[in-house]
Structure 1
Amino acid sequence: MIEAHFSGQQGSFRLDAAFTAPESGVTALFGPSGCGKTTVLRCVAGLIRFDKGKLIVNGETWQSDRKFVPTHRRALGYVFQEASLFPHLSVRKNLEFGLKRARRRSHTIAFDDVVDLLGVGQLFDRPTAHLSGGERQRVAIGRALLSQPQLLLMDEPLSALDRLSREEILPYLERLHEVLSIPVLYVSHDIAEIERLADTLVLMRSGGVRASGPIAELLSDPSLPLVRMPDPAAVMDGRVRDFDPKYGIARVEVPGGTLLVAGETGPTGAVRRLRISANDVSLSRETTKDTTILNALPARIVSAAPEGEMQMTVRLKLGADGKGAPLLSRISRLSWDRLGFQPGDTVVAQIKAVALAKA
Structure 2
Amino acid sequence: MSNVTMQQFDIDPSYSQPIKLQINLSYDGFTLATNLALPRRGVTVLFGHSGSGKTTCLRVLAGLERSATGRVVVGDSVWQDSERNIFMPTYTREIGYVFQESSLFPHLSVFDNLNYGYKRIGKHKRQIELEDVCELLNITRLLERRPNQLSGGEKQRVSIARALLTSPKLLLMDEPLSALDNLIKAEILPYLEKLHQRLSIPVIYVTHSIDELARLADHVVMFSNGQITRSGKAVDILCDPTFSAQFGERSGAIFDTKVVKKEIDDITLLSIEDGPILYVPKRHEKIGDKVRCRILATDVSVCIDYPKHSSILNILEATVEQIVESHRIGELLLILELASGIKLQSFVTARSIRLLAIKPGTSLWVQIKAVSIC
Q: Structures share a fold, TM > 0.5?
A: yes
Post-superposition CA distance 1:310-352 (Å, at most 9, x none): 1110112221xxx422210111112222322222333222213
Contact 2:60/2:68, CA 8 A, preserved across alignment = no
Where has structure 1 moved over 3 Å in runs of 4 or more?
225-228, 353-357
Give the 3 Å change call, closer, same or farther, for CA 6–354 of structure 1 in structure 2. Answer: farther
Q: For residue 202 of structure 1, report the CA deviation from its aligned partner.
A: 0.9
- Partner residue in 2 for 1:244: 263
Post-superposition CA distance 1:253-283 (Å, at most 9, x none): 0134111112324211111111111112112
| Local SS of the residue matching 2:283 | coil
- Partner residue in 2 for 1:346: 363
> Structure 1 unaligned runs (5+)?
none
Trace 1:1-359 onto structure 2 (pairs within 5 A).
Answer: 1-65=18-82, 66=84, 67-103=86-122, 106-225=125-244, 229-246=248-265, 248-255=266-273, 256-307=275-326, 308-319=328-339, 323-353=340-370, 355-357=372-374
Paired with 1:51 and 1:45, the residues of 2 have a C-alpha distance of: 12
Q: For residue 69 of structure 1, report the CA deviation from its aligned partner.
A: 1.1
CA RMSD in angstroms, aligned pairs only: 1.8
Give TM-score scaled by structure 1 length: 0.93
Give the 3 Å change call, closer, same or farther, for CA 57–175 of structure 1 in structure 2. Answer: same
Give the 3 Å change call, closer, same or farther, for CA 115–193 of structure 1 in structure 2. Answer: same
Q: For residue 104 of structure 1, report the CA deviation from its aligned partner.
A: 7.4
Paired with 1:332 and 1:165, the residues of 2 have a C-alpha distance of: 36
Contact 1:98/1:145, CA 8 A, preserved across alignment = no
| Local SS of the residue matching 1:135 | helix
Q: Indicate the percent of aligned positions where both proteins have the same amino acid.
A: 42
| Local SS of the residue matching 1:230 | helix
Q: For residue 101 of structure 1, report the CA deviation from its aligned partner.
A: 4.0
Paired with 1:162 and 1:352, the residues of 2 have a C-alpha distance of: 28
Contact 1:7/1:17, CA 8 A, preserved across alignment = yes
Q: For residue 131 of structure 1, report the CA deviation from its aligned partner.
A: 1.2
Contact 1:280/1:353, CA 8 A, preserved across alignment = no
